[in-house]
Amino acid sequence: MKMRVRIEIGRDCTKALKWFLSYYYLIMSAADIAVGVYPKLEPEDLQILESIELQMKRYEYVPEYNVYEPTSLPPQEVAYRLPNLRKVGLIRRRRGAYTGYSLTKAGYDTLAINALVKANILEAFGKPLGVGKEADVYDALTPTGTQVAVKFHRLGRTSFKQTKRKRGYITEYAYTPDWHRQSRIATKKEYRALEILYQKGVAVPKPFKRNRHVLVMSMIEGEELYHHSELPNPQEVLDEILNNIRKAYRNAHIIHVDLSPYNIILQPSQHILIIDWAQHVTIKHPNAQQLLKRDLQNVIRYFQRKHSLGTKLEEGLAYVKKDTIEQK
């Protein structure tokens, strides 16, 4: 009887532990998990994660016996480490006709972090700067002590169908998760835009490096414009925004496409910074003029409504496009 009671208590404890771990990983973001786990991983763990990632082009769940092949590790070493990687939330397991493994979001985050560390871009992580529908942003340091922002793209977090409709990204591999395929493309696209815009003097973060779905850029200080119910001189802020839209349009030939008070940062210096360029188009895009007009409309209407400014959309359009040679 005592033995039976011990068994029941043991089962209850196991269930409670599983429930706690499930809840723990539910409330923590994938980046939180990856940032916390990464310093504790050994090179062998990272080899296994890379092996699974490589083969997820062909398998939804990579068969356990296939995980061994791309690594230099003996099968018993891999078999020993797989449960630990699963326990810390970097991989998931499925049992059926065979036992297979796939990466979690935290697993992909870990591989991106590792690549950026090996490239001497990242040294240490700080606090989260913001968690949104399509990205998580963290404070970090480079090996030289420079403070940077690390953006983990999360496209498809709320709706894969909506993201595909808005962005139109074409998938490449059969079994790599939708969010990861789309996020990699968005990261590459945003990095390319920031490179051009920064060189042309537009008020954007300086891009440092990208890997997979993660982008490293200069530190973002301040708050989104919509947080500021009052401004000392709202007309100056609007003029600076319009000037930067003009620079992006005239000098870089780029239109933001999703501009709003939610991705315009007002820095402590009271100067602005425009972020989130993953959806940008060039002025050669067939809908370029319509998209430019929509960006300006979002900004000008906000200042009309929130700060009672009299600037009209037609005035903003004329200023942005003044002396511009349209690209055919």
In which residue are the tokens 């791309």 written?
Answer: 70
Residues forming a β-bridge with 140: 125, 148
| DSSP H helices in the chain | 2-27, 30-37, 43-55, 64-67, 75-87, 105-118, 160-167, 178-199, 234-250, 288-307, 313-321
**Are the C-beta atoms of residues 116 and 211 closer than 8 Å to each other?**
yes
Distance, in Å, from the CA atom of 158 to the CA atom of 162, rounded to the nearest integer, reads 8
Q: What is the DSSP string of 130-164?
A: EE-SSEEEEEEE-TT--EEEEEEE-TTSS-HHHHH
Q: Which positions of the chain have pLDDT values less than 70?
A: 1-27, 156-175, 324-328
The first and second tokens of residue 206, run together, are 């300086």
Strand bridging mode 124-131 / 135-141: antiparallel
| Residues noted as catalytic | 258
Tens-digit pLDDT profile for residues 185-244? 999 999 999 999 999 999 999 999 999 999 999 999 999 999 999 999 999 999 999 999
Scanning the structure block, which residue is given the tokens 């940077």? 148
Taking each helix axis as running N to C, give the angle between helix 178-199 and helix 160-167, from 0 to 180 degrees, rounded to the nearest 10.
Answer: 40
State the average pLDDT for the chain. Answer: 87
Which H or E run includes 265?
A: strand 264-266
Instruction: Return phi, psi of residue 168, to 5°.
Output: 70, 30
Distance (Å, whole) CA 26 – CA 5: 31
Give the contacts of 255 (CB within 8 A, at least 6 positions apart).
248, 249, 280, 281, 282, 283, 285, 288, 291, 292, 295
Report the pLDDT value the prediction gives residue 5, as an integer from 0 to 100.
37
Count of beta carbons in the 10 Å neighbourhood of residue 232: 8
| pLDDT reported for residue 169 | 40
Domain architecture of the chain: domains with CATH: 2-107 (1.10.10.10), 123-218 (3.30.200.20), 224-321 (1.10.510.10)
Residue at token pair 């089962």: 11
